[in-house]
Structure 1
């Protein structure tokens, strides 16, 4: 029951947000250290705010200020210094950031039409088909069959990442993106950083700089408040109508 136009749109979102994003992201590890890659991912909120403003033909100062504060908060948590020769790697990571941001904004624009035709959960499989259309050729070009998992633990980790972290995670993330305003979505792209570190501290007993974690988290909380305070009057927070609307 999903129109062909929306099938292609969902495939396009998956091809960009999941497929192309990971091609850029994984290639960046050939150019940068892991801390540098993680640091350079913090600019995604700015791209979300700017892309949303460009599509709507106006500037939302609250969303932009919130995105900037979210970037600052993530920088407080993640900055560990960088090498001098990082520009090629920096640009590759920004390619990943742009793909991830563009996919979220695009999904917000079509989610209402999808939901009007079928529940999003029933339609979202096309998102993964689109990602496969990029991922399979990318593996054939850049991948190495000898690097595939060889032990049950490795296969278990891969299945967890594919089915739960990426599979269920991308559906929930995009569904949430369609239920909130773009400014809040921008901030939440970086709020997962302190959330992930808290999981490491509380569950896995890993060390973390709690002072930087608290300061960065506080800046992200401030970012959400600023976005809410400066959101244009009459702006809707949800892109998907509630049942019956």
Structure 2
């Protein structure tokens, strides 16, 4: 639990740092590439190359490619289309997607999960009621792409780690986690080389933010979050996942975005949060596991 609280506070500033200082001025593909590269370099010295089986390495690379690599490509693009509070609010759909993924794995369909998603979409519409435009809804879909990648990566990582530890004594996570970042690095490097533009940081502040996001928010943050996730229940993990949203909103609204339409944002946010809370209440009442991010 302390690890999840620490990472939540750490990530609460990342949304605003990206939206205020990087989005629109630094090429998003270069920013993603730099962030993942620094995270990989942080863990490469700890990697036990020969002690890790090829199967484990490939599995972790595939998970990292989806959970971090493709997710970041969606995530950074969303800041070009939406405000920071909107990006934060729309990340709350991840638990719903995890529930849908588990339904898919078990070959079943729950209309309830679809209803929750539609209710949350209604909350998104309230935030821009009377002012929706193409960029807004495109941004909404881009954030959902990021959410879906993160959900898929989380489901795959939890299942793989359960099997990994059941096969016998395993290497410490810090000695294999570099494979996770190397898989993501392959994806973001290809995206930068093909789609990137020559828009690089123009100030020491922007370079400093990229270094912070790469080494601390991504490198240290994702390792500690995944380690903390193995130490708590699914319900606690879901609660901490949702705690990131109010923490990030509080930081953004108090420091950078004081002119936001707070009543509309609050009403739409309450509908979105209420949809997810209703879903979790129903799952607890029925005795089914609470989906975790």
Q: TM-score, normalised by structure 2?
A: 0.61
Structure 1 residues 52 and 184, CA gap change in structure 2 (3 angstroms): farther
Matched residue, 2:178: 125
1:171 maps to: 223
Comparing 155-164 with 18-27, which one deviates more in the overlay?
Answer: 18-27
1:21-40 paired onto structure 2 within 5 Å = 21-28=71-78, 32-34=81-83, 38=87, 40=90
Partner of residue 214, structure 2? 162
Distance 1:23 1:136, change over 3 A: same
Answering whether residue 119 of structure 2 is matched by residue 79 of structure 1, we say no
Q: Deviations over 1:73-118 (max 9, x none)?
A: 9948x93443257555544433222211101111011123445411
1:198 and 2:250 aligned: yes
* Structure 1 residue 7 corresponds to structure 2 residue 57: yes
Equivalent-residue separation in structure 2 for 1:147 and 1:36 (angstroms): 25
Count of matched residue positions in the alignment of Structure 1 and Structure 2: 230
Q: Provide the C-alpha distance between the structure 1 equivalents of 2:247 and 2:186, rounded to a whole number of angstroms.
A: 32
Moved more, 106-115 or 10-19: 106-115
Deviation at 1:36, TM superposition (A): 9.1
The CA deviation string for residues 11-54 of structure 1, in whole angstroms up to 9 with x for no partner, is 00110111111223334456x33369625444322211111232
Of 122-131 and 190-199, deviating more is 190-199
| 1:163-194 deviation line (CA, Å, top 9, x unaligned) | 1112222223333444432x665554443111
Q: Judge conservation of contact 2:98–2:151 (CA < 8 Å) in 1.
A: yes
- Tell me if 1:48 matches 2:98: yes
Shift of the 168–51 alpha-carbon distance from structure 1 to 2, 3 Å rule, reads: same
Q: What RMSD over aligned residues (CA atoms) do the two structures have, in Å? A: 4.1
C-alpha contact (below 8 Å) 1:15/1:130 kept by paired residues: yes
Distance 1:48 1:126, change over 3 A: same
Closer/same/farther in 2, CA of residues 196 and 236 from structure 1, 3 Å limit? closer
Q: Is the counterpart of residue 212 in structure 1 residue 262 in structure 2?
A: no
Which of 150, 172, 186 does residue 202 from structure 2 map onto?
Answer: 150
Distance (whole Å) between structure 2 residues aligned to residue 73 and residue 141 of structure 1: 33
Q: Secondary structure at the match of 1:33?
A: coil
Give the Cα separation in 2 of the matches to 1:18 and 1:201. 26
- Partners of 1:157 and 1:132 lie apart in 2 by 19
Question: After the TM superposition, which of the residue ranges 15-24 and 115-124 deviates more from structure 2?
Answer: 115-124
* Aligned counterpart, 1:17: 67
d(CA) in 1 for partners of 2:257, 2:77: 27
Residues 120 and 5 of structure 1, relative CA distance in 2, 3 Å threshold = same
**Take 1:61 and 1:121, find their aligned partners in 2: how far apart are those partners?**
40
Q: Contact 2:61–2:179 at 8 Å: present in 1 too?
A: yes
Matched with 1:135 is: 188
Q: Which has the higher contact order (CA 8 A, sep 6+)?
A: 2
Aligned partners of 1:184 and 1:224 also within 8 Å? no
